[in-house]
Structure 1
């Protein structure tokens, strides 16, 4: 996080007991309000602020434009703030700053822990923390599952809740930081930033409501948001019991098996024949209809083969994969190969047919790329062959849907896992979130019988996918079970030696997760797991029986 080296002289206005300032950020600069052009009115529980001219460069310069704010106190004592603005250039975002606050921590609702915001990330960063919604790949520990943040006053322990009631999945940033200069030096500021979809940048912007509540009860505040998200004005969340967008058999699944195929380097953990042995072992101990089998690295070199999917000759080829699918189906087991939703090998021959017009990119058209993982262990993180593409782009979506459905027509699997669906960027050409919705819909239009599963989640994705693979160290709130189910992430260790298989984590301590309604018991397999960890495998299968008894309808 950075700061300017001068006092921006942002005018401050008292609204509903808060000291607020405004920034209007266009594609080319940052603007504030010209104080002599502002009128502020207060009547009962309503405040209005109107500004007819903008300022920039610490109020050294003026610019044409206007800004309007309406704040109202609702029946719950919450402050609802709506804003509009117009400028001479296209507007990216509006920042609402609540200033002059006593020292704060951030209350993590999901972990129920306090987070300090006093330190910057390094010596070149100013103190403070930025929290991102829906996702920032380089700051994933500061990602929010919903556009909600809580702060706690260090002296009074009083919680304040901040949230955005938005009908769309659009970028939000929440900032908590001490000020470094000006009248509020050493006081804390909370910044609430709404960013328009880059596909819709315009000289005029209307901001969905920000809701602020001092003395908030976090459970009630979150519940208010979920109620909104389920409403006709929300983002389309549908409770699990009312969902009709997935095959009915998913509600019978009580056990998930992660069976690793081929590592990026070419190391083989399990061939198709060995995968079948594992499945048969499990199906002898619990009815096959309760088993979902996830296959990372089924198509060959993990990630390297992304974008050109087919059975891998060294794992058993077409004949071996066909037998795996057919025998699995006879057992009633559900088979789920893995596909990259938005990541491909751009060195493959077919990339030129769909790739150049499909790159994920920032609003300023910086190509979205993550120098992770360090696949070849060169310690150089040079994975430029790996491209991120947007499922909102018709050419890539058509290509991926075609590959998935053609394979499903040829090989009888009934589920697909889509990797990296949670990756998001404010792409100026195609809405990334809506691209995921279109991808899922296009797959099911061609093959309505296929279960489509995603990796990780934020609130909007719960309206698209019914099942997610989730990381163990990103604690899952119980409310996710209101809309979807989860299974263990492939980076979790298998029980024989702690291997994470195809995943770049390498080795990790093995731990069996406790049974809960939203989490389907999961166990992973690499080479030797079945032979050396049968006792623990059987325990997980017993957990599956308990899950079936406790949470599934007879």
Structure 2
């Protein structure tokens, strides 16, 4: 999923225009279709007023300005409103517009050296320090919302992209050989399901040299926009958060069966683990998360019934009964995207496709059996496709009806795809709505989190490998909660259980606003590390919500 590290091997000779005011910022525009990239023609007209610069180009040029292309029009303007530069860009092209790039140069050099950060960047570090090349993308672990800053928090410049829809936003910073200054690229990628020959880019706002207080207000203004655009509601008043969830202080991951067939815990062993845990923390403050409960993890996807090697329906019913007796809530794991083509013959109807609908998109291709080659039957399906979504809804509903589970975890939904056949976010909204219509008290959780996703799902696993001590916690805590990722290691050597990471040391427990600690249990955890498990439970009991 990382960025493609390629560049032009020549100077594209883009024309740059001044921004209004005394900031020293210059800007340019590039337009992309499926077949080529285009620059504004160097002979275009622009008007520079006191608080406004407008550009009109009735021709494009191929990069390098060698060839003029009579293929459409660009109308762009930047307005200075009370110290905020706001760009409006309208494009018409004879081909469907795939992306539009706003290029900025002339930002304060000391800020560029200090680096870039987003609200969910770890406290105390930044991206692109001392001019190192970076690419940050929304939505995903880079940007929880399409707002970012460059420079120290005491004085920084802020960028806000005000898009009412979930679409890919990319910020790429580099200093190519042909440019006298570093270039900040703000790339807006259009939705593959409705591309057209005319396009208006959502507003891009730049505030140069903001104090800490002004930058904080800028972020709050951006969050107010996101709340309205995506339907974000405060955590305290969310109707999709059951009362019991507000008291959860610990998530206990009870690993079931690995892809290879290795069993970490049968359902009776999971019962024993819950009995031990609830000796050290009240059961009503525990959420039991069950990956690999359906049998061979990921191999069985998307067929979701209690795994026969773990105890089948009878064993799961006993586990559910014990959990209710102890006050513990159960959250089985389901694949929001994942499927084994052998298990789901209709996979081609729903498989995620690239933005031009020419090939299948893959999120990842783990080597589950360690032959050092990724498995060949794992694909990722789009919940926007009605058949797959109906299958997920009925699979989850059956577990609620038959066993009374309290929550459902949807794997990988934090990863966004630009599928031309079905809008992924629309699919997530419909999936959520259909499940809550059937089961209004069901808690829905997902892997990952960002603004529009948190509007739908109040609990997300924090992205694996990213810092929990984020700079601006309110981007999360105002709306949702996170817990530790499935791949967080268990006590002792750090087995990641059903996950493909192998062994990862468990991070120390530290109170983080809005974050619920996780405790993983595999086959040797209680026999060998019971004291550590008990200590973790007591820590969560003493430090979590009540």
Structure 1 length-normalised TM: 0.90
2:386 aligns with one of 394, 399, 405: 394
Give, in whole Å, the separation in 1 of the partners of 2:509 and 2:164.
35
* Pair 1:407-2:416 in alignment: no
RMSD across aligned positions (CA): 2.2
Deviations 1:440-470 (A, max 9, x none): 1111122222111111112221111111112
1:228 is matched with 225
Report the 3-state secondary structure (helix = DSSP H, G, I; strand = E; otherwise coil) of the residue aligned with 1:211: strand
Change (3 A) 1:429 1:10: same
Partner of residue 151, structure 1: 150
- 1:415-459 deviation digits (Å, cap 9, x = unpaired): 111110111111111111222122111111222221111111122
Alignment: residue pair count: 524
User: 1:124: which partner in 2?
Assistant: none
Establish whether residue 343 from structure 1 lines up as the match of residue 338 from structure 2.
yes
Whether the 8 Å CA contact 1:329–1:413 is kept in 2: the answer is no
1:93 aligns to 2:92 (yes or no): no
Match of 2:207 among 213, 220, 227: 213
Asked whether the 8 Å contact 1:338–1:417 carries over to 2, the reply is: yes
Match of 1:268 in 2: 263
Kindly indicate whether the alpha-carbon contact (under 8 Å) linking 1:490 and 1:503 is maintained by their aligned counterparts in 2.
yes
2:167 to 170, 173, 182: 170
Q: 2:196 aligns with which of 196, 202, 205?
A: 202
Aligned equivalents of 2:427, 2:543: Cα separation in 1? 34
Deviation for aligned residue 1:297:
0.7
Partner Cα separation in structure 2 for residue 546 and residue 78 of structure 1: 46
Match of residue 117 from structure 2: 108
* Aligned residue among 118, 130, 139 for 1:134: 139
Task: Give 1:513 deviation, angstroms.
Answer: 2.1
Cα separation, 1, equivalents of 2:258 and 2:464 = 22
Q: Give deviations 1:222-275, integer Å, cap 9, x for gaps.
A: 333212212x3x222211112112322211212211111111111111100000
Give the SS at the match of 1:175: strand
Q: Does 1:352 align with 2:345?
A: yes
Deviation at 1:335, TM superposition (A): 0.4
1:260 and 1:525 in contact (8 A); partners too:
yes
Contact 1:359 1:367 in 2 (8 A): yes
In structure 2, the residue corresponding to 1:510 is in which secondary structure? coil
Say if 1:150 and 1:159, in contact at 8 Å, map to a contact too.
yes
Mapping for residues 376-455 of structure 1, pairs under 5 Å: 376-381=369-374, 383-455=375-447
Find the residue that maps to 2:274 and give its secondary structure. Answer: helix
SS in structure 2 at match of 1:308? coil
Q: Note if 1:36 corresponds to 2:31.
A: no
Which residue of the partner structure matches residue 89 of structure 2? 83
Distance in 2 between residues matched to 1:488 and 1:507, nearest whole Å: 15
Mapped partners of 2:270, 2:462: distance in 1? 23
Whether the 8 Å contact between 1:469 and 1:489 is mirrored in structure 2 is: yes
TM-fit CA distance, 1:100: 5.0
Question: Are the aligned partners of 2:413 and 2:447 in contact in 1 as well (CA < 8 Å)?
Answer: yes
Paired with 1:129 and 1:286, the residues of 2 have a C-alpha distance of: 44
Q: Offset of 1:320 from its aligned partner?
A: 0.6
- What is the CA-CA distance between 1:4 and the residue it aligns to? 2.2
Q: TM-score, normalised by structure 2?
A: 0.91
Residue matched to 2:282: 287
Higher relative contact order (CA 8 A, sep 6+): 2
| Aligned residue number for residue 69 of structure 1 | 76
For residues 119-145 of structure 1, give each alpha carbon's deviation from its aligned partner in whole angstroms, at most 9, with x where no partner exists.
9xxxxxxx832221114xxxx6xx322
Q: 1:8 aligns with which of 9, 12, 35?
A: 12
Partner deviation per Cα, 1:185-241 (whole Å, 9 max, x = no partner): 4x21000111111111010111111111111335444333212212x3x22221111
Distance 1:541 1:254 in 2: 9
Out of 459-468 and 53-62, give the one that drifted further.
53-62
CA contact (8 A) 1:117 1:177 kept: no
Structure 2 distance, partners of 1:113, 1:424, is 26
